[in-house]
Structure 1
């Protein structure tokens, strides 16, 4: 198999991925629609294809058997979201819009696949797979009486400045076994690392001065597994199935303080959802590959996402969780090889919005509401072994609205009821450019 050295490449991959992980905004809920420039430019479709190691090991570990050669891949994505929110009260008599500071994120990807002379194929990937983040300024009343009521300080029943940053990195060693020339099955173990900061932190009991700060990043480790299979029904038609378990995390924990300086210590658990997917790949002609995936993302049974609304406690109400719904995601992709050197790719991705209107109020910190994505990319073989890939995608702006939700305080409706005459509107769009280098071993 040439000079490919698995033992040397593995430690290098972990170091590079850990150093490069940045805050990520994701596109199917808080889940990236695709990983690596090749898979992203295909709209994220990769369950029944075997085009690149990064997309194959992430989408369906059973597909790595059908990669043509052993390979190693490095990639990076520059992610550029645009976010804002409008809050109004008294039927719009008081209203204001605040824009989040744009914080570009660099999202890493690394993968390798080692094909043996036996039916066994070994894989590994280290990729940023999701996250969220906002950085909204505080607001105050002005001469015209117009302001964002949520942007007021906590002492005036607002939140003040709002900040969140969630990062998620996943390492997946895997193994696939090719049962025959048309059928392969695979198994992978997922080791996850996440970092979370939110300020103010509304998911713990307040004191008389308000909610404590969660600006100091807390980290947690998680784990799960993935299984997959790919079957070639015909020489030009493949079907794939993938099951990725929930990623079960330890609790995040903070040593913090309330606005009045009193100490605060609290924890929060935020798991990653179960994802079940099916895909097909069809080659009407030798140089054209068409792919389609369907995924179900199970937020309603995921710790941290399934809980919703306020909980009442002796010292005051606190937010129980994000309150997200399950979503379906569809990925469509096409790849056409112009010649031995140039390849063109394009795709489309759609996902449901996981945040219902009555939970928009609680998700100013994480407005993961984009639904439509267009993707494009290209590959260039510098040499027969070395390939350079680039990709771009745009997630079109989506706007979702809902009422303020009462915390049951004096002069407000009962807890968890809509506050009349109020509205919160979240907006989000995204752009991304990425590059990926692939080296295939003889």
Structure 2
């Protein structure tokens, strides 16, 4: 296959990346980037494996050679809530948020060695998102109408450069262009608590975008041990004007700073072990971190310090392994676990965003059918997690509890050309 054909296909895949997709893994961030990384629980700071490396650590693009990767993931979340102990007629019961059952998440990456020291990369990928779709509205007893849910999509485009200082050290820099889209439906019962009641619910999809910086380093400490460190800045995006009465600071929804460190150890000629620790600072974004409790201290929805989801910072721990069975076949596996982003007292509003899963088990493989071509696959299961509310429905809504439950499955495939 000539170079131009796969490159043209990659551009088409990149255009498709702004089609509807939504998911929730570590909070609402993806648990990894690139099909190979996803098969190893998302490790990537110290172990670049494909042209999506810049999504984790831009220094890694200096180590993967000239290649083009196209991939797609089928993602199926299961999300539900249960309301109990409420004196409000019709409120109690179990609500299924799976009216939209599954999503496709495309990705592509391209890397080119410009000279023996300098490499260029371009990655397009879903950074995160959240979707709920309740045909039976859990807020209908509180004055809301129609079906309910939210749809949040975040797509990143990351051009990057990496400089290989010597055989053991490389540094990388990437620009993160973030595009995000949001819609809320069936929460018009909250409009009376907003400073802009006409911009809370059912205003269609709105979008915003912004730019940020990603920096990284990869170092080969010994012949078998490498380390990677990366940092991604907070991205201040434009505001969702159609939902300025919902999100704090008049529709602001910035993307939080995140960073981490990883190790990769080539234990034998065939076996590689890797581990990452990632920090996501949700608390620095008001629309994500502000507690619903501030609603009852004079702060209306949409105001500068208005109430929202009450998420906390989380730390994610990832372990992965790859084993080269033959020159043509590599097998992968991984396990990750994360802090809980939500407090038990914040489950009421998070009916819209029950991102409570914490543990992932992953499997993956790469098959090389001929020189210069790769087919990679992965499967990930996010174990069912239930977060039981504690004093979670405010007394202004009658009291009671909301319990959140979620689990997820995803399957992905990618084709790569070594150019």
TM-score of the alignment, normalized to the shorter chain, above 0.5: yes
CA distance in 1, matches of 2:194, 2:241: 19
Change (3 A) 1:356 1:159: farther
Q: Is 2:196 the counterpart of 1:171? A: no
Once the two structures are superposed, the pairs formed by residues 258-407 of structure 1 within 5 Å of their partners are 267-309=250-292, 310-311=294-295, 320-402=307-389, 403-406=391-394
Give the match for residue 230 of structure 2: 242
TM-score by length of 1: 0.85
Map 1:2-41 onto structure 2 (within 5 A).
Answer: 9=7, 13-21=10-18, 22-41=20-39
- What is the TM-score normalised by the length of structure 2? 0.89
Per-residue deviation, 1:201? 4.6
1:378-437 CA-to-partner distances (Å, cap 9, x unmatched) read 11001110000011010000000213442747xx6xxxxxx3xx1100100000000011
- Aligned partner of residue 347 in structure 1, secondary structure: strand
Q: Deviations over 1:31-84 (max 9, x none)?
A: 000122111001100100121121x111110111122x2000000000000111
1:75 is aligned to 2:63? no
Counterpart CA distance in 2 for 1:311 and 1:13 is 46
Q: What is the SS of the residue equivalent to 1:23?
A: coil
Which deviations, in whole Å up to 9, do the C-alpha atoms of 1:170-199 show, x marking residues without a partner?
Answer: 000000001110000000000011100011
3-state SS of the aligned residue for 1:305? helix
Secondary structure in 2 matching 1:216? coil
Secondary structure of 2:15's match? helix
Alignment coverage as a number of residue pairs? 406
CA distance in 1, matches of 2:125, 2:86: 46
Unpaired stretches in structure 2, ≥5 consecutive residues? none
Q: Please state how far the C-alpha of 1:16 moved relative to its aligned partner.
A: 2.4
CA contact (8 A) 2:344 2:392 kept: no
Q: Structure 1 pair 428/314, CA: closer, same or farther in 2 (3 Å)?
A: closer
CA shift digits 1:145-173 (9 cap, x unpaired): xxxxx443443xx6763211101100000
Give distance in 2, aligned partners of 1:317 and 1:27.
26
Write the distance in 2 (CA, Å) between the matches of 1:207 and 1:244. Answer: 33
- Please list the CA deviations of residues 108-166 of structure 1 after superposition, one character each: whole Å capped at 9, or x if unmatched: 11001101333101111000111001111236xxxxxxxxxx443443xx676321110
Cross-structure match for 1:122: 120
Q: Matched residue of 2:327: which SS?
A: coil
Distance 1:362 1:248 in 2: 24
1:308-339 deviation per Cα after TM superposition (whole angstroms, max 9, x unaligned): 21436999767622211000001111111111
Q: Deviations over 1:7-32 (max 9, x none)?
A: x94x8645422324432212111000
Q: Give the match for residue 104 of structure 1.
A: 102
Q: Structure 1 residues 115, 383: closer, same or farther in 2, change over 3 A?
A: same
CA distance in 1, matches of 2:371, 2:194: 65
State which of 198, 205, 212 in structure 2 corresponds to 1:224.
212
Q: If you compute each CA radius of gyration, which structure gives the higher value, 1 or 2?
A: 1
Instruction: Give the CA RMSD over aligned residues.
Output: 3.0
CA–CA distance in 1 between the matches of 2:186 and 2:63? 48
Preserved contact between residue 177 and residue 184 of structure 1 (Cα < 8 Å): yes
Residue 246 of structure 1 and its aligned partner are, at CA, apart by: 1.0
Contact 2:203–2:242 (CA under 8 A) maintained in structure 1 = no
Deviations 1:208-257 (A, max 9, x none): 9x875235010111210100000000111001100011122100121899
> What residue number does 2:56 align with?
59
Distance between the aligned counterparts of 1:213 and 1:153, measured in 2? 16
Does structure 2 retain, via aligned residues, the 8 Å contact 1:251–1:269? yes
2:92 matches 1:95: yes
1:272-293 alpha-carbon deviations (Å, 9 max, x no partner): 1111100000001111111100
